[in-house]
Structure 1
Amino acid sequence: MKNKFFTHPPRWVYGLIAILTTCTIFFAQPVQAISIWDIIRGGAQVLQGIQLGSMSPEREMALGGQIDQQIKQQLAGNGTPVVRNDHLATQYINAIGQRMVDKLTPAERRNINFTFQVVNDPNVNAFATMGGFVYINAGLMVLADTEAELAGVIGHEMGHIIERHAIKQMRERAIQQGILSAAGLNQAQVIQLGVEVALNLPNSRSDENDSDTLGLSIMRRVGYHPQGMANFMAKLASQGGGRGMTILSTHPNPGDRVNSITQQIANNPPTQTEMGGMDTQAYCLEIRRVVSNRIQCS
């Protein structure tokens, strides 16, 4: 009698042969080992998305850099590009900004790499986004009468970054739009919100006051006269109905802020080391050199 196992093997044998053949083909290929923890971590990242409330400085700077690129593209499309890093105006703004960065305390986010840029726009405006990116319009540089006034604006924008105001606004905007979930936001959503907040959305009264107070403190550490900030704010308040005051759409309440800044200065008068940047003639000549030689200095 013939052995039935060899002449007619059970049906499960064919399945076993197929499995062994597949495994042989698969494991014959060189592959990189992937642990179960890699898979779990990867899945967690996909599920969680980007959490605006708990973001490392490295993550913030990386996303801020992408927002910065989108802002530059939009500004260039509007005919008001960000000027090159080697431009005299950018070098001038960056020199002031970096001196102020050097005076930050560890609690004021010295681990953020601040970038100061000039927008080739005659309108009066300044804004910032997450990750340390500050933008100053050429029109604002011309409107200021002293370097202390300009430093006050730069310090104010630094205050927004230090206090994470843009991130807070982005989160609030995401809630309003119904796109924020427990899973967080995807990268495209974060970038879109970042551009919208930087260019279009007004800051709250509380955020403006906090940034004024912090900016005032920073500029004083460098040696700038704090009256410079008050003077420029008063200028905005007096010319609020004038042409080109784009800054008032995103930085409201200049009159109230003048009173607050003036009171802070009265409560803490400047020392002899906080009298700098008030020379109008020197500033005008500097702006003539770095912005436009058509500027007339008396």
Structure 2
Amino acid sequence: MLNPLSLMSLSRRRWFYGCLSTFVALSLVITSANPTKAISIGDIIRGGIQVIQGVQIANMSDEDEVEFGSQIDAELRQSEIRIIRDRELASYIDQIGQRLAASSDRPNIPYTFQVVRDDNINAFATAGGFVYVNAGLIKAAENEAQLASVMAHEIGHINNKHVLRSIKQAAIERGIVTAAGMDRSTAVGLGVQLALNLPRSRNYEYEADESGLNTLVNAGYAPIGMVQFFNKLLEKGGGSMPEFLSSHPNTGDRIASIQQALDPTTASQGDGLDTVAYKSKIRSLVGRY
């Protein structure tokens, strides 16, 4: 049995070695980082995305995710896409988007909806509430419910943090995540790549479809709009298939799954099925783009 003095001596030694271990660990993290980007102890303590939290990027706070999404957005707008600067068109798309966002699984984060000057039928989303809708998709939709269904699908990707989860997986597969995590510029670069070409896993697409359909219904739109638009695009086939449908899970299976989730007696109940009103509205807004 140890006497009190021996216990105190042992305790002090443990404290000393504990401090020494912590110091060595921090030294290793700092010295093993990318030599072009110094990492401070403050960064480590704060646990930002560029350090420890890089390994756990899918679990970042809503506030951090919105900030991260804004950085991806800035990079996208600077080098990858052209945003249409039309106040009336932007207001119309934002009105639809905010209505959907308020009825989504994550209504408490800010959402930003932007129209991309691109005639391809496509839409995509990044982290933190950023959604992008191509002018070509707005023109291709027959009514507002169809357009809203695609926007709801993209909100579904945000609700399920698919971009964040994909960034984490891609970083692991490429071996760029270490004990020090990822630096912010690397993470943003991956975010840009994945936003434009999100790997279409079966689970992600079904999750976005299910979440999007619930959002569409909760927002008061007729859910049949999702089936109508997906069927319309499926009929096109070939090279005209948009990215959000050209995915790993069979598109016909996805449509069948959506149809099974609908009650046929209420599928056409709700807003957004007036084709004449929609075409008249977008003719003046998108016709010149």
Q: Please indicate the TM-score interval, normalised by the length of the shorter structure.
A: 0.7 to 0.9
Residue 103 of structure 2: aligned partner: 103
Residue 256 of structure 1: aligned partner: 253
Matches of 2:133 and 2:249 in 1, distance apart?
Answer: 17
Cα-to-partner distance string for 1:82-129 (whole Å, 9 max, x where unaligned): 112x5322111100011112223xxx2222111111001000110000
The amino acid of 2:110's aligned partner reads: N
Find the residue that maps to 1:70 and give its secondary structure. Answer: helix
In the alignment, structure 1 residue 196 sits paired with structure 2 residue 200: no
Cα-to-partner distance string for 1:158-190 (whole Å, 9 max, x where unaligned): 010011011111111111111112322110111
In the alignment, structure 1 residue 63 sits paired with structure 2 residue 54: no
Cα-to-partner distance string for 1:182-233 (whole Å, 9 max, x where unaligned): 3221101110010010002332111111111111111112221100001111
The amino acid of 2:124's aligned partner reads: F
Find the residue that maps to 1:212 and give its secondary structure. Answer: helix
| Cα contact 1:52–1:171 (8 A) shared by 2 | yes
Find the residue that maps to 1:135 and give its secondary structure. Answer: strand
Shift of residue 252 of structure 1? 5.7
Residue 92 of structure 1: aligned partner: 92
The amino acid of 1:83's aligned partner reads: I
Distance 1:40 1:290, change over 3 A: same
Residue 57 of structure 2: aligned partner: 52
Aligned Cα root-mean-square deviation (Å):
2.3
Residue 9 of structure 1: aligned partner: none
Residue 162 of structure 1: aligned partner: 159
Matches of 2:165 and 2:126 in 1, distance apart?
Answer: 11
Shift of residue 41 of structure 1? 4.5
Gaps of 5+ in 1: 1-38
Find the residue that maps to 1:134 and give its secondary structure. Answer: strand
Q: Name which of structure 1's ranges 252-261 and 281-290 shifts more when overlaid on structure 2.
A: 252-261
The amino acid of 2:70's aligned partner reads: G
Residue 16 of structure 1: aligned partner: none
Distance 1:251 1:66, change over 3 A: farther
Shift of residue 242 of structure 1? 4.4
Matches of 1:74 and 1:40 in 2, distance apart?
Answer: 33
The amino acid of 1:130's aligned partner reads: A
| Cα contact 1:236–1:254 (8 A) shared by 2 | no
Return the match for 1:223 from 217, 220, 223.
220
Return the match for 1:114 from 111, 114, 136.
111
Residue 283 of structure 1: aligned partner: 278
| Cα contact 2:124–2:196 (8 A) shared by 1 | yes
Larger radius of gyration: 1
Describe how 1:117-196 pairs up with structure 2 within 5 A. Answer: 117-196=114-193
Return the match for 2:207 from 201, 210, 218.
210
Identical columns (%):
43
TM, length-normalised to structure 1: 0.76
Q: How many residues align?
A: 246
| Cα contact 2:150–2:226 (8 A) shared by 1 | yes
Distance 1:252 1:143, change over 3 A: farther
TM, length-normalised to structure 2: 0.78
The amino acid of 2:52's aligned partner reads: Q
Gaps of 5+ in 2: 1-39
Find the residue that maps to 1:131 and give its secondary structure. Answer: helix
The amino acid of 1:161's aligned partner reads: I
Matches of 2:266 and 2:69 in 1, distance apart?
Answer: 35
Find the residue that maps to 1:52 and give its secondary structure. Answer: helix
| Cα contact 1:123–1:246 (8 A) shared by 2 | no
Distance 1:172 1:40, change over 3 A: closer
Matches of 2:138 and 2:161 in 1, distance apart?
Answer: 25
| Cα contact 1:201–1:250 (8 A) shared by 2 | no
The amino acid of 1:144's aligned partner reads: A
